Structure 1
Amino acid sequence: MPTPRRCGIALGLLALSLSACTGDGPASPRPTPEGTTSSQTGPRAGLVAPDGTPIEVPLPGPPSGTSRDVTAFGADPERGTGDDAPGIRKALAASDAGDEVVLPAGVYDLRSAHPDDEEANLLLADDVRLRGAGPGATVLRTSFDGEEDSAVVRAVGVQNAAVTSLTITSEHVGELGSDPDEEGPGGGPMYGVQIDQGSRRILVEDVAVELFQRHGITVKASREVTVTGCRVADATSVGPGGSGYGIAVEGRVDQRDPDASDDSRHNVVVDNRLDGTHLRHGILLQFPTHNNLIADNTIDGGVLDAIDLHGEGEYLNEIRGNTVTDVDAAAVALGNSGGEQNRHDASGEGNWIHDNRLVGNAQGVLVILGTRDTLIDANEVVGRSRSVVGIELRNAPGTVVRDNTVTGSDAQFWAIAVTEDDGADGRGAGVATDVLIAGNRLAGAGNGIEVEAGRDIRIEENTLDVEGTPWQVSEGAEVEGARP
């Protein structure tokens, strides 16, 4: 494994520790192993071109022009001294390509919307950086309070821009979101940072977001967006309908067209920290977004699945090197049974889940509702008292589970389980087929491999050192290979 190093010109916090960088450019993937799933005979997962060639995600260049201090345009870093949004907007409007807009330490009260967008405080501009003095030092404090589609910082069709080194918060006071079945309490802006509508080469670095309602940082219908070194926590709602997502990467509903100008791909979410206490999902991929890299993030706790491929066709994404702890659901989930406007079911094909450390979660990795051709490879899963299963496959055709280490802590825990999928209102019901479980190391106080249902389930060369039941196959399940 290569020595970790920093990538790109401006990624001061981006130290990719699991082979995300090769050569002299930004994040690149480890090549997907061949001969694993049917989807990988063609395009590969992660940061690759359609022909499987590794690509480098470009970053906006460093400042090369004028540095503009927002206080020279009327913004006052003293909290409660009026509306500072116009001054910051004037500094952005006065900037040319290569310029940097600087926000010295202080609290900037944003009390008005942009003249060109009544639902945003600030709009990023092409080839311009917005930089604070660091999260906690520079604070953008918005007065948005539940307005539909409101965002503090928004980029619409923007290229080569950056927002770095600041905190985004709101004037919200009171309770935070905790109940995934209820809308409330809500409040604050819908989005902290929103990148949308074909934006490209955007950097969001060293940004903290809190007291928002829907998404802390969201990337939609855009590509080559890098989100790194950020912290997201404390959503005001975690209810159904899209509230309480920490970092979201989205495509367009029902659009799977790599030739489209707003095709969602080649985005990088790396080395971020999510406090999941008041987050529905820590990191979420939604709609047919593809060939993204989600790497080296830390997620502590969570209301529902921490890293969630949301059951709307997300495909060929690489999820690796993340640490997820103490979630009362799955650490990594592929497929989703929910949805109000858009009914979820299977994620897309060919996603690669590898080299993650998943500790004390109800489930380590969960694949459901017909999600196919997933590679679950070389993860470390540690069960604790709340844990039920290390790796669970329901209706998961073509899944490969190999070279994982799973350790259980009590007699109720199963390291690997293959079970029947009841579906969601008729969607995605069925059993796993054409599954390979090979080379895994299963240990601890729990149990080994349970196959309740499925066809063409192959079990090969696993090592079991468990105190409980090493192997259990229900009547009707079709299992091939030597028992452990």
Structure 2
Amino acid sequence: MKEFVRNSRQGSSHLWWMALSLVLLLTACIVDKSEESVESEDAVEESEGPVKKEGAVEPVPLEHGDWGFPGLVDRSGEPIEVPTPGPATGKTLDITDFGADPVPDSYDDAAAIREALEAAEPGDEILMPAGTYDLRSTDPADKSANIVLRSGVDLRGEGQESTVLLTSLDGEDDSRVIRGSGVHDVIVADFTITSHHEGSLGDDPDNGDASGGPMYGIYLGAHEGQASSQVLVENLGIRRFERHAISVKASREVTLSGNYISEATAVGPGGQGYGIAIEGSADQRDPDAANDSRHNVVIGNTFDGRHLRHAILLQFPTHNNLVADNIIVGSHLDAIDLHGEGEYLNEVRENTVIGGQRAGIALGNSGGSKNKHDASGHGNWVHSNDLIGNRQGVLVILGTPDTLIEDNRITAAEDSKVGIEVRNAPGTELRGNHITGGTDGFWAIRLSKDRGADGRGIGIPSGIKIESNVIRQAANGIRIDAGEDLSLVENVVDDIDGAKQRVADGINGVKVE
């Protein structure tokens, strides 16, 4: 994974990250010193999927073709390695040779970057030397974008804080600093994208009127049914954008690694303030279609969530993606969010989420103005994450089926409500999670009725398996307010301040071993 803090920041931001480092260090010390702590893990390896146990929930392909296993696997379930572009093999074209001026407040450098891209051939690299480049114009063929990528041509700066692209885009519909449509074999790396926006940053998730800066920092999508593929976006800083820092839609084999994302200008409803969004097409139901969104990787990125609605979001029927090794501190809503539009068979592992105002990881969503959200799809795998001081560690709602939640380490803080909360989520399995901390009304695991969202997703937990979880030094243990066909097997609940277990009257079919 990339360095935790890639570059020093000035003023309060730098102090905030110093404080965060101390929080992580103290948390690690607490875990190491606990006699019942989880043993340290080996280096990250490619996963071959959840371990199958007798009676375990088997993946059900539903209407999404015959894909049946989560994570980076092929249709048969065999692990794959997502290809990334190799280093440039051709010429290096320096944008200053095309008239770009690295001194801030130059007239317009976007035209010079576009001219260099036009002069390049596949295998070439466009170099943006250290400096600040003012992007004041848009591409003649695409008035929404400052720069349009070309297949086989890399775009690289000299460092995340050394090379800065400063856009003048400010609230224009669908505006994008960098767009790639149907591109392949491209590296975009080692610079920062920001804007001239000097107004307030997003801090109210109910405010739909806030805006400023470009809608998107990086936008990768399909062109005439052809997905973008084999694209690496690495070591970028992106800030002062309105909707998505990085948006990947209807694409495959896109890897986003080592990026630092912060400072959205808006976090309101309708898609504002997302750090990274991986999306299928809203009407995409055919996994064999050319733009089926799968095998994308979000790994080793860092998010300052103080001005983000969601840090990482998967939306629409995108599947078999990997979200791993990311660090997220704070977010206004769920930090890692499977957004309730049929996202299925994705793997979310070994992320660290600290201090989110809502869930650290959520599956299913009650919002949506244009597209009414409800359940995520089947078979998502959430495991081995560190979830510290979030309102909920993991939340599964609105009919999301057959989720496997295992081996997560959840540490509650004073304002935390639940370690793992399951509502209407048939076939959910909780296995081997370690949960600790909390005060007063905190419960390590809670099953409750789902009241739905405008009639969508109403129901109770059913077919839930709670097995081999370890709950220690927590305010309360396991609470079951509603449900049917529930199984509690070999859970350890020790040193609890309040109730170890509470089952509401009238609930039948609870198997306890």
Q: Give distance in 2, aligned partners of 1:203 and 1:148.
A: 26
**Equivalent residues of 1:168, 1:192 under 8 A apart:** yes
Quick check: 1:283–1:307 contact (8 Å CA) kept in 2?
yes
* Aligned match of 2:325: 296
Residue 444 of structure 1: SS of its match in structure 2? strand
* 1:411 maps to which of 434, 440, 443: 440
Shift in Å, 1:408: 2.2
1:482 aligns with 2:512: yes
Q: Secondary structure at the match of 2:306?
A: helix
Q: How does 1:210-359 map to 2 (within 5 A)?
A: 210-359=239-388
* Partner Cα distance (1:38, 1:354) in 2: 17
Which whole-Å CA distance do the structure 2 matches of 1:428 and 1:40 have between them?
Answer: 19
Q: 1:200 aligns with which of 213, 222, 229?
A: 229
Report SS of the residue matched to 2:84: coil
1:479 to partner: Cα distance: 4.3
CA contact (8 A) 1:153 1:194 kept: yes
Paired AA for residue 166 in structure 1: F
Q: Which amino acid in structure 2 is aligned with residue 379 of structure 1?
A: N
- Counterpart of 1:424 (choices 441, 453, 463) is 453
The aligned counterpart of 1:24 is: none
The correspondence for 2:184, drawn from 135, 155, 159, is 159
State whether residues 18 and 321 of structure 1, in contact with CA within 8 Å, keep that contact through their aligned partners in structure 2: no
Unaligned segments of structure 1, at least 5 residues:
7-16, 22-27
Structure 1 window deviating more from structure 2 (408-417 vs 374-383): it is 408-417
Verify the 8 A CA contact 1:47 1:292 in the aligned structure 2. Answer: yes
Q: Which residue of 2 aligns with 1:133?
A: 158
Q: Which amino acid aligns with 2:484?
A: R
Task: Please give the per-residue CA displacement for 1:329-351, whole angstroms capped at 9, x wherever unaligned.
Answer: 00000000000100000000000
Give the whole-Å Cα distance in 1 for the aligned partners of 2:461 and 2:365. Answer: 16
Q: Choose from 462, 470, 480 the match for 2:500.
A: 470
Which TM-score applies when normalising by structure 1?
A: 0.94
- 1:162 is displaced (CA, Å) by 1.3
> Structure 2 length as normaliser, TM-score?
0.89
Cα distance in 2, alignment partners of residues 33 and 149 from structure 1: 43
Is the CA contact 2:199–2:212 (under 8 Å) kept in the aligned structure 1? no
Cα distance, 1:189 vs. partner?
0.3
Q: Distance in 2 between matches of 1:319 and 1:371?
A: 15
Query: Within the alignment, does 1:88 sit opposite 2:88 as a pair?
Result: no
User: Partner of 2:393 in structure 1?
Assistant: 364
For residues 302-344 of structure 1, give each alpha carbon's deviation from its aligned partner in whole angstroms, at most 9, with x where no partner exists. 1000000000000000000000000110000000000010000
Q: Say yes or no: does 1:50 pair with 2:75.
A: yes
Q: In 2, distance between residues paired with 1:68 and 1:477? A: 69
Preserved contact between residue 435 and residue 474 of structure 2 (Cα < 8 Å): no
CA shift at 1:20, angstroms? 4.9
CA distance in structure 2 between the partners assigned to 1:126 and 1:326 by the alignment:
40
Q: What stretches of structure 2 of length at least 5 have no aligned partner? A: 4-40, 62-66
CA contact (8 A) 2:415 2:438 kept: no
* Separation of aligned partners in 2, 1:5 and 1:308: 23
- In the other structure, the counterpart of 1:185 is 210
- Given candidates 82, 85, 97, the residue that maps to 2:122 is 97
Name 2:138's counterpart in structure 1: 113
1:156-206 Cα shifts (integer Å, max 9, x gaps):
000101110000000000101111111232110000011111100000000
Match of 2:24 in 1: none
Equivalent residue, structure 2, for 1:38: 58
Partner of 2:484: 455
The change in CA–CA distance for 1:380 and 1:373 in structure 2 (over 3 A counts) is same
